[in-house]
Amino acid sequence: MVLKLETSLIKDWKGYKGRPFLISGPCSAETEEQVMETARELAKIHEVAIFRAGIWKPRTRPNSFEGVGAAGLKWLSKVKKETGLMVGTEVANEKHVYEALKHGVDMVWIGARTSVNPFTVQEIADALKGAEVMVFIKNPINPDIELWIGAIERVAKAGIRKMAAIHRGFSTYEKTTYRNQPNWQLPIELRRRIPDLPIICDPSHIAGNREYIHEISQKAMDLNFDGLMVESHINPSVALSDASQQLTPNELRELLLRLILRSPSTSDQKLLDVLGELRQQIDVYDDHLIDLLEQRMKVAETIGHYKKENNITILQSARWDEIVRRVMIKGRSKGLSSELIDNIFKAVHQESINRQMNVMNEGIENHNGSDK
Ligand code: PEP
Ligand code: MN
């Protein structure tokens, strides 16, 4: 289902200067000097549209720096007045919303630890009713697209017109290179479900380390995201939160210079002809894949009938191991990544099991009168 929200397109927003729509500033506002010095440098970078700074900081453990609180909002007003940048901060309850609006912030964002909770999102949405502010909604920490869409819908229902989603990655228990897993398929699915909603990538919180910020930003641009939220601090090494993932304003400028912006479409007829032909080839191969899957599932069902007649279990681990070994070797010899083979065959195997379960249970409901 594709959703149409009553929101305005990013290109019509005040302050929009093209792609990437850039939000930058420190993870946390720490002192007036740190805020002002960072803002003055960022204001010199053309692409920066909004200055961000966390005022109330959600921290994993207590007794770490939890933000300067409402006092920092005065510094944001000063940034706005002195540099002309728009300013934004994170809100996590209705009190934060009232304080932020009272100080004239242009934008608020709902953090990943808040967007998981529909009660809190609703409280924030109610507090935002009738406000002219921009609202950005970060993905919830767990990879649940419905929860993310639910938070977006709650804010839209409050009458907010300038809305965007922020993709900041998803938490995992496993130790991975990045601090948060990008799971790119989720923002891509979000784009499919709400095509007009701008999507901003937050490479800082995905990376957790400044060394990966460029590659993640590039990927987001290649996927046609509308903008970036990058943490920047005048002196990251002494930052009170997220020190390892913040860039100096100069490093941000360098990153922007290295960023390659490809256009989502072209009007060049020759290029369109070539692309059109290649896309037709892709469609032909996709049709082949569907036909092959249909045939494979028919064989799986036939096997299911044999298993049923001979009273043997559906799951035969040794056979599955043998299939995985075989397709992995074959896939590798064709230059296909193990990740691709693994993903495809896990899905194919699951579908075969489902089909065989149906075969096994055929007629059972009728016999015992179940109405499920
Ligand atoms: C932040 O932007 O500083 C922040 C706390 O982000 P997240 O909610 O994505 O963890
Ligand atoms: Mn941060």
Number of H helices, E strands in the chain: 13, 8
What one-character-per-residue DSSP string does 15-35 give?
T--SSSEEEEE-SB---HHHH
Q: Is residue 139 within 8 Å of residue 186, measured between CB atoms? A: yes
At residue 60, the pLDDT reads 84
> How many whole angstroms separate alpha carbon 160 and alpha carbon 110?
13
Q: What is the pTM of this model?
A: 0.80
At residue 173, the pLDDT reads 86
> How many whole angstroms separate alpha carbon 25 and alpha carbon 30?
12
At residue 277, the pLDDT reads 87
Q: How many CB atoms lie within 10 A of CB 317?
A: 8
**Per residue of the chain (372 residues), what is the pLDDT tens digit?**
788 898 899 999 988 999 999 999 999 999 999 999 999 999 999 999 999 999 999 888 888 899 999 999 999 999 999 999 999 999 999 999 999 999 999 999 999 999 999 999 999 999 999 999 999 999 999 999 999 999 999 999 999 999 999 999 999 988 889 999 999 999 999 999 999 999 999 999 999 999 999 999 999 999 999 999 999 999 999 999 999 999 999 999 999 999 999 987 888 898 888 888 889 889 889 988 998 999 999 999 999 999 999 998 888 888 889 999 999 999 999 999 999 999 999 999 999 999 999 999 987 654 444 443
Please give the span between the terminal C-alpha atoms of the chain, in angstroms, as a whole number.
26
At residue 365, the pLDDT reads 56
Work out the angle at residue 28's Cα, subtended by the Cα atoms of residues 26 and 33, and round it to the nearest 5 degrees. Answer: 75
Running DSSP on this structure, what letter comes out for residue 163?
Answer: E
Kindly report the protein residue whose alpha carbon is nearest to atom 1 of ligand 1.
27
Q: How far is the CA of 241 from the centre of ligand 1 (A)?
A: 10
> Which residues are within 8 A (CB) of 146 and not within 5 positions of it... i.e. 6 or more apart?
none
Give how far Cα 125 sits from Cα of 146, 163, 193, 323, 335, Å. Answer: 17, 12, 21, 51, 49
Q: How far is the CA of 205 from the centre of ligand 2 (A)?
A: 6
* Ligand 1 atom showing the smallest separation from residue 54 Cα: 3
Kindly report the protein residue whose alpha carbon is nearest to atom 4 of ligand 1.
111
Which of 141, 142, 171, 166 shows the shortest CA–CA distance to 152? 166
* Nearest ligand (C-alpha, residue 241): 2
Which of 110, 111, 104, 100 shows the shortest CA–CA distance to 85? 104
> How many whole angstroms separate alpha carbon 111 and alpha carbon 168?
9
> How many whole angstroms separate alpha carbon 138 and alpha carbon 164?
9
Q: Is the dihedral of CA 161, 166, 240, 251 positive or negative?
A: negative
Q: Is 297 exposed, middle or buried (0-12, 13-18, 19+ CB in 10 A)?
A: middle
Q: How far is the CA of 205 from the centre of ligand 1 (A)?
A: 7
Kindly report the protein residue whose alpha carbon is nearest to atom 8 of ligand 1.
111
At residue 124, the pLDDT reads 98
Q: Is residue 229 within 8 Å of residue 27, measured between CB atoms? A: no
* Ligand 1 pocket check for 112: Cβ under 6 Å: yes
Mutate which of 24, 57, 90 for ligand 1? The one with the most ligand atoms within 8 Å of its CB, which is 90
Q: Is residue 43 within 8 Å of residue 83, measured between CB atoms? A: yes
Give the 3-state secondary structure of residue 86. Answer: strand
> How many whole angstroms separate alpha carbon 201 and alpha carbon 219?
10
Structure tokens at 110: 């709902």
Give the side-chain half-sphere CA count within 13 A for 131. 26
Kindly report the protein residue whose alpha carbon is nearest to atom 10 of ligand 1.
112
Residue spans of beta strands (DSSP E) within 114-192: 134-138, 163-167
